[in-house]
A = this chain, B = another copy of it.
């Protein structure tokens, strides 16, 4: 399979958009990795050894409070990369990165990423634009957390996940969704039931199916749309 890596990198949009020349430099160092739901990609404060380009997996950035509570800060799929501090200059960050949906990623050693970033070419531009998009996602999460109801937040979260998912089924218990959203499991149960009764989703023992995406888009607050528009503007 001489072009297996090319095929794989083609399925991470950041990598796929790079010129041939850059691809050729990076591909020898790109290594496929498989992740399962719940795998910890890294821990707060840890020194990063690689950046991860999701291909079919979805990775959540979470902040874990001292008392054990948690809340999601941002989510990344094959439109982006995890390991921002490696090129922004901080090397570490105070968040945990966990697999929200199992699947594959490509990882690149820190040094190779940094060398290519310092060339100031297309990879640098792509990484910075992606980071700008992620900043918007995080910002809007802050706004949504403050101003909108749990149900609106759940809709936003479902749509952000769906956008990064292949297919319509998300493997995720209500307990886990509650950890992501920073709310109680019971609250997720109530909201999810309402969404199910409205015919927007169906769920059962750790699986959620998006049934009526359009309906969800009508139910969600403007926060989702703001993020969506920025991602499309910056990453296409």
Within 8 A of B (CB), among A115-147: 118, 120, 125, 128-129, 131-136, 138-143, 145-147
Chain B residues whose CB sits within 8 angstroms of the CB of A73 once the complex forms: 139, 142-143
Chain B residues whose CB sits within 8 angstroms of the CB of A87 once the complex forms: 128
Do A94 and B230 touch (CB < 8 A)?
A: yes
Chain B residues whose CB sits within 8 angstroms of the CB of A63 once the complex forms: 139-140, 143, 226
Chain A interface, number of residues (Cβ within 8 angstroms)? 46
Say yes or no for A89: interface residue by CB 8 A criterion: yes
**Cβ distance A148 to chain B, nearest Cβ, rounded Å:** 9
- A63-B143, A94-B226, A139-B138 known; A132+B71 contact, CB < 8 A: no
**Cβ distance A20 to chain B, nearest Cβ, rounded Å:** 21
Do B128 and A71 touch (CB < 8 A)?
A: no
Do B139 and A88 touch (CB < 8 A)?
A: no
A140 to B145, CA, bound (A): 12
Say yes or no for A41: interface residue by CB 8 A criterion: no
Say yes or no for A219: interface residue by CB 8 A criterion: no
Can you show 16 pairs from A to B with CB atoms below 8 A apart?
Answer: A65-B143, A65-B222, A69-B147, A71-B146, A71-B147, A74-B139, A88-B129, A89-B128, A94-B136, A94-B230, A118-B120, A120-B120, A131-B131, A142-B145, A143-B182, A146-B181
- The 5 A-B pairs with the shortest beta carbon distances in the complex, nearest first, are A142-B142, A146-B182, A88-B132, A145-B145, A145-B146
